Chains A and B, each alone.
Chain A
Amino acid sequence: MFKYLKQLTSLVAMVAVLFTFTTESMAAKKSKTLKNTQKKGFVRCGVSQGLPGFSNADAAGNWTGIDVDVCRAVAAAVLGDANKVKFTPLSAKERFTALTSGEIDILSRNTTWTLSRDADIGLTFVGVNFYDGQGFMVRKSSGITSTSQFKDGISACTNIGTTTELNMRDFFNSKGIKYEPVAFEKADEVVAAYDAGRCDTYTTDKSGLAAQRTKMSNPDEHIVLPETVSKEPLGPVVRQGDSVWEDIVRWSLNTMIEAEEYGITSANADMMKTSDNPAIKRLVGAEGELGAAFGLDNDWSLRIIKQVGNYGESYKRNIADTGILPDRGPNELWTKGGILYVPPAR
């Protein structure tokens, strides 16, 4: 009798455990990061310490840039207000620790997506918001117009803790050139040292070179060499282990790119609700229940487009109009000869 009772109780207990498990996983849909973000009322976003066009603060402390816009898009989707973002400027060296330790929830800081970073250190890359490649900047007066003119003994300034440091070695080794790497912790120090004449060349992602050139004492004295020596797909990163949050960030970025593809802008987004194209209607929340999958309402994508704009608007505002890289190059939509191609939102 007692034996049966014991078995019965353990059965009940097991069922109870199973049940709590299922209710738990339902609740987990509302991810921990999402819950915390909604509770705090702002998105915690890690950005650079100042890279014009990507993430840069003006004198009043307002952040702008295409990396900043990714975080703003997430804030618009999750909290309804693109301004509810707390930006944490991070050096290249600090960025991953800040993310894995939970100090920030999105790292949107011109970070290159590589296998080892994705697989090794507890991070997940959610997409690419800028296709870049490493290049070299030299003084015009040096007469160098191609990396093939580099000679033994050349000194190259760069940042520590970046893929640049590794690519630089691969590049110079493959050419058999002896070089002197001078690696600083902060980008501003690299620029200052190169500008002073400490180094013959400054190497980093080409977008970074174009942006930093604007900070030089005389930008016209410097040129970026035509060669691109590496692939640098830059994109936002989240902590591994919260797949709902990962999806929210991924699709916030995708929404911006797809909105451009369908011609939805911050100005015409409301009017697009009555469009004939179901894909457009889904993107502005007039059809389907896309937000429910993340535990968000149906207007999440409309808010992104209205408050932040589509990718093209963001690019124009931050990178083209500021004169950093007027030509979109590979960062043009696939329909216009670029390689921006995102999965459909449906």
Chain B
Amino acid sequence: MNFKLKDIVPQLITVTAVVLVFGFFTYNAQINMENRGIDFGYGFLSQESSFDVQFSLIEYDGSHSYFRAYLVGLLNTILVSVIGIIIATILGVIVGVARLSPNYLINKFAAFYVEFFRNIPLLLQIFFWYFAALRALPLPQDAEAIFGVFFLTIKGLYVPAFIWQNFSVFFYSIIAAIIAIIVIRIHAKRVQENQGKQIPVFLISIGLIFILPLLSFLIGGVGISFEVPVLKQLATTSFIYEGGVSLPPELIALTLSLSLYTATFIAECVRAGIQGVGKGQKEAAASIGLTPNQVLKLVIMPQALRIIIPPTTNQYLNLTKNSSLAAAIAYPDLVLVFAGTALMQTGKAIEIVSITMFTYLTLSISISLLMNWYNKKIAIQEK
């Protein structure tokens, strides 16, 4: 009995303390808001926002609600995070492997890149890419066309827009290719386990993913045409491009700085992971006759990934949270649109900040869960 009490009491005290602290803050906020005549409530979310946003993935203008503005910000945050994570991962893996290269030049170049970019504050890098690099870009009327159709200007990157005919046929052909690849992989694994024969899965997969969509063009009636951006004059010295798709320079600068910065940390994770696999493993694998490719694929990588994934998850979370620095360069992310403009126009500080915090928490936890699931999948399975 005594023993149990000793266990329970500290926990009870902790729980009470936590509840009391939260209770105090809530009470305090309530009293202060009452004294200052500030209402509390989420009713404002359905009101008309009456401000416009530069860049949105969904249809939005000032006549929509504050909730819609919240969604615009959220989607923009997710967009920049997803693109950032993809680029940072690819770059990080390349640089991480390059750091282990026996080639002096590649090795040192990778080391220099890592040390340079991870030791400069991210906000400064964002400012650099936005303000310094932006100034160096040409005005729309002076821009040289890249491959004749891309235009990189101070007002953004203009790319041709695709105009599809029978897009659904093309889409289904890709789905079909993916299903076929999965089926072949499962079949190949079974064949190898039963008969020891190897099927060149990789080559077949590549073939499928190209040939099926190609067939859809040839016989499925799928067509594609481009809408190329065209220069339009607004005033004597002021031009823009019309038509096509325009990527605002804010998005480009933010993605670039976030991925370059985070890639350095991912590169270090990758290097640590590969170096963490014993040298003996590689030698042993080679000695049983595996090709260098197989050594990497079947022996080194599965073990290295176990070391790489958990710290890389942290970097993904950091990148997502760092994307909130967007506010500094006018990229309309969640913080700028919702915790910035919407907060100012409504004055609902507690409500909006709490929603924003909760949103980032949800985003981060989702990434964590996904990565933990992946980590568990590749972890050593004791049989």
Using CB atoms and an 8 Å cutoff, list the residues of chain A in contact with chain B: 92-93, 96-97, 100-101, 117, 120-122, 138-139, 141-144, 149-151, 153-155, 157, 160-162, 165-166, 168-169, 173, 179-186, 189, 192-193, 196-198, 200, 239-241
Contacts and interface: CB of A to CB of B under 8 A. Distances in A.
Given A143-B236, A153-B242, A198-B155, A122 B38 contact: yes
Interface in B100-147: 131, 134-135, 139
Contacts of A93: 340, 343-344
Which of B51, B61, B328, B349 has the largest count of A CB atoms less than 10 A from its CB? B51
Interface stretch (B208-216, B310-318, B329-337, B357-365): B329-337
B135 to A, nearest CB: 5
Contact of B35 (A139, A162, A186, A241): A241
B50 interface: yes
Contacts of B62: 166, 169, 173
A183 B332 contact: yes
Contacts of A182: 54, 248, 250, 330
Interface in B324-382: 327-330, 332, 336, 340-341, 343-347, 349
Nearest to B234: A151
Interface string B14-54: 00000000000000000011011110000000000011111
B154 interface: yes
Given A96-B347, A100-B38, A142-B236, A183 B336 contact: yes
A138 B347 CA distance: 32
A7 to B, nearest CB: 34
B36 A239 contact: yes
A151 B235 contact: yes
A86 B209 CA distance: 67
Given A101-B32, A186-B328, 16 more contacts: A100-B36, A122-B38, A144-B236, A150-B234, A153-B240, A154-B234, A155-B240, A161-B345, A166-B345, A168-B52, A173-B62, A181-B52, A182-B330, A185-B336, A193-B131, A241-B35
B236 A166 contact: no
A196 B36 contact: no
A240 B349 CA distance: 16
B336 A160 contact: yes
A143 B35 contact: no
A200 B141 CA distance: 13
A173 B332 CA distance: 20
Contact of A169 (B50, B327, B340): B50
A239 B33 CA distance: 12
18 contacts: A93-B343, A96-B347, A141-B237, A150-B234, A154-B238, A161-B341, A161-B345, A169-B50, A169-B51, A169-B62, A181-B53, A183-B330, A185-B328, A193-B330, A196-B134, A197-B154, A239-B36, A241-B37
B350 to A, nearest CB: 10
Contact of A183 (B33, B37, B341): B341
A152 to B, nearest CB: 8
B249 interface: yes
B52 A189 contact: no
B235 A142 contact: yes
B253 to A, nearest CB: 11
Contact of A166 (B51, B332, B347): B51
B232 interface: yes
B330 A189 contact: yes
A127 B139 CA distance: 44
Interface string B177-216: 0000000000000000000000000000000000000000
A153 B54 CA distance: 11
Please provide the 6 A-B residue pairs with the shortest distance between their CB atoms, ordered closest to farther.
A121-B347, A161-B344, A143-B236, A122-B36, A142-B235, A122-B38
A193 B328 CA distance: 11
B236 A165 contact: no
B349 A198 contact: no
A189 B325 CA distance: 14
B50 A166 contact: yes
A164 to B, nearest CB: 10
A154 to B, nearest CB: 6
Given A153-B232, A169-B62, A92 B344 contact: yes
Nearest to B327: A185
Which of A101, A161, A186, A239 has the largest count of B CB atoms less than 10 A from its CB? A161
Contacts of A101: 32
Contacts of B249: 198
A160 B238 contact: no
Given A169-B51, A183-B54, A153 B37 contact: no
Contacts of B248: 182
A307 B294 CA distance: 84
Contact of A240 (B36, B50, B134, B330): B36
A142 B341 CA distance: 30
Contacts of A157: 330
A120 to B, nearest CB: 6
A161 B352 CA distance: 14
A161 B340 contact: yes
B341 A196 contact: no
B329 A160 contact: no
